Structure formats: C-alpha cells, structure tokens
Amino acid sequence: MWEIENLIFLLLGIPVLWLLPTAGIPLFLDANVPVSKRIYWPMLVGLGFGLLDFWIIEYVLPHPAHSSLPPYTQPFPYSLFLYFSGAMEIEVFYRLIPITLFLYIFNYFNKEKNMNAAFLVIAVLTSLREPLEQWPDGPGWFVVYALASGFMMNFIQALFFKKAGFIASLSLRCGHYLVWHILNGIIIQYFILNR
C-alpha cells in the first residue's frame, strides 16, 4: 500500500508534465499518438518480456521447488495493487523526471540541436539504472541474461516514452508485471503450492 511518502514523491512528477512539449515528448493524451502506439504495442512488448522472464527463471534456471511465494511475487489480489502502483513509481522516477528534465535543460541551452543524440545518452543511462540496482544472483549466463534483458526492456521503454509519452512506457512495464509478477504469483499460489 502507498504510504504518504510515496504519494509525496509521486507528486514531484507533476511539475515535470509542463516540460514535456519543450523536451520533445508527447503529452499524456496527445491526439497525434494513436492508442495502438500508446497502449497496445507497448503492452504487447511488455508481455513478451514477461513471458521470457517467466520461462527463463521458472523453467530454465535451476531452483528448488517453490514451498512458498518467492520474493518477486505477492498474494493475489494484493499483487494487482502492489505491482501496478510500483510500476507507476518506477516510471515516474526512471523515465518521466530524469529524461524530461535532461531533455528540457539540453533543449534550453542548445535550441533543438542534437536532441536525438542527447536523448540516446539519457536513454542509455536511465536504462542501465534498474538492471544495475537489481544485480542478479545465479550462474554467469543468467546474470548476463538478466542484465541484458533488463537493459533492453528499459531502453525500449525510453523509446516508447519519447515517441508516444508516459502512458506508453507505463503500459510496457504493466505488461511485463502482469505476466512476471502477477500471473506467475497466481500460478505459484493457486496451482503449485496447493498441490
């Protein structure tokens, strides 16, 4: 559940919304961005990353049989609120604030020159954050997989954010969480632990 501190931190993203046009990022409901690019395509990409994680971690990576819910899942239906609210927090602090502020400041001093290069720099830097913060354990191949897939998902989210706005980036993450955290938790909770 969100604490008051979480809500206060999320409010930090509100002033950034007015900077989106100058940063070259579509507004939340920009009429020029079709719903397919804002929700459907990002959601499908997120589902793909979620299915890949599910297959690799639950069926390829050796681990003991589940005797309780693992730390990357929570009981359903609590998991719905937890992971969708968590997705919102991550997108505000991993994309909305850093990418928008960086591009806004860069544009202010450079008057729309080299904006694509500036975006690539901030996209790469912000895409490294989550995989490095969540450095995985396990065999070397799995560490490489987790770091590479984490970077790729975040980088693709940055691309969606730049082209289709915040909701697109959030949709991708929600697609991933829907499979990896929520559906995986339901399978473990109701089908594996109740055998």
Tens of pLDDT, residues 70-119: 999 999 999 999 999 999 999 999 999 999 999 999 999 988 789 999 99
Q: Give 12-21 pLDDT, tens digit per residue.
A: 889 999 999 9
Residue 28 has pLDDT above 90, yes or no: no
| Whole-number pLDDT of residue 2 | 62
The helix-helix angle for 166-177 and 140-164 (nearest 10°) equals 150
Whether 120 is covered by a domain: the verdict is: yes
Nearest-angstrom CA–CA distance, 14 and 108: 20
pTM: 0.94
Omega before residue 70 within 30° of 0, cis = no
Instruction: Write out the residue range of the structural domain in which residue 119 sits.
Output: 91-195
Amino acid at 55: W
Q: Is the pLDDT of residue 153 over 70?
A: yes
In a domain, 160, yes or no: yes
* Residue 2 forms part of a structural domain: no
Residue 41 is encoded by which pair of tokens? 């395509």
Rounded Cα–Cα distance for residues 173 and 167 (Å): 10
Say how many domains are in the chain: 1
Residue 172 belongs to a domain? yes
Residue 1: its pLDDT value, please?
Answer: 55
| Nearest to 131, CA basis, from 117, 145, 111 | 145
Sign of CA dihedral 69, 148, 99, 105: positive
| pLDDT tier for residue 166 given thresholds of 50, 70 and 90 | very high
